[in-house]
């Protein structure tokens, strides 16, 4: 019996020593902001194409072009706030190959097509004045101004950010921001459609505080 006690004690001490040496630290950080911003889309966030006949749509070698649509996006903040915007595609599995293409759902296990959201700088208003369309490809560490702003799918490009600013070089605090977005939709022209196909696009726009 005594011979079995020492090896067991040595083993226990060895495990305990290793457990104490193998450690790692957890750090919790963040910023609590006293302000809040609320995004709102015109027409309840619905872009309705109604009932369309493929035969009546403009067509090229790859797509049928859906009619041009616009949708107003407004962000109201309780106080001047620095923020950026991202968009997540809720129909990601049916999207196109490009980062800015959001899916329109499926029909008979076929991807219907895609749409994208863009806006001209001339349509940006920041606190009632002309603003700038900004984009960042590195999570907001650097920004560039563009005459054409857009959303990328956050699922494809998680570091991509959009911003609407009074400053052409970086986001600036604002209380009210608005922009008219152009919604451009494409339907794949190699689909096999023998019955009505339901367009089913969905995306979530999110405010990120900076």
From 157, 117, 160, 165, select the one nearest 136 (Cα to Cα). 160
CA atoms within 13 A on the CB side of 18: 6
C-alpha 64/C-alpha 61 separation (Å) is: 9
Mean pLDDT, the chain, whole residue set? 88
Confidence class of residue 27 from pLDDT cuts 50, 70 and 90? confident
Per-residue model confidence (pLDDT) at position 6: 46
Rounded to 5°, the CA angle 90-148-156 comes to: 30
Q: What are the tens digits of pLDDT across the range 144-186?
A: 998 999 999 999 999 999 999 999 999 999 999 999 999 999 9
- Domain boundary assignment for the chain: 35-209
pTM score above 0.85: no
Contacts of 64 by beta carbon, 8 Å cutoff, 6+ apart? 54, 57, 58, 113, 186, 187, 188, 189
Confidence class of residue 103 from pLDDT cuts 50, 70 and 90? very high
**Fold designation for 35-209:** Immunoglobulin-like (2.60.40)
From 34, 72, 71, 88, select the one nearest 176 (Cα to Cα). 72
């Amino acid at each position: 019996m005594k011979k079995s006690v020492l090896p067991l004690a040595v083993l226990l001490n060895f495990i305990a020593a290793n457990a104490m040496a193998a450690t790692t630290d957890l750090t919790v950080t963040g910023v609590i902001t006293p302000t809040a911003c609320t995004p709102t889309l015109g027409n309840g966030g619905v872009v309705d194409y109604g009932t369309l006949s493929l035969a009546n749509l403009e067509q090229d070698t790859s797509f049928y072009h859906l009619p041009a649509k616009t949708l107003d996006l407004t962000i109201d903040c309780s106080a001047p706030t620095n923020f950026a915007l991202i968009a997540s595609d809720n129909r990601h599995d049916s999207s196109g190959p490009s980062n800015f293409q959001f899916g329109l759902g499926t029909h008979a296990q076929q991807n219907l097509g895609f749409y994208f959201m863009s806006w001209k700088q001339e349509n940006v208003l920041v606190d009632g004045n002309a603003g700038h369309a900004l984009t960042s490809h590195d999570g907001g560490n650097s920004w560039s101004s563009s005459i054409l702003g857009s959303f990328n799918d956050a699922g494809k490009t998680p570091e991509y950010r959009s911003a609407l600013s009074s400053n052409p070089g970086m986001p600036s605090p604002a209380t009210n921001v608005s922009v008219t977005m152009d919604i451009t939709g494409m339907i794949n022209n190699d689909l096999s459609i023998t019955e009505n196909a339901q367009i089913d696009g969905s995306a979530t726009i999110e405010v990120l505080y900076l």
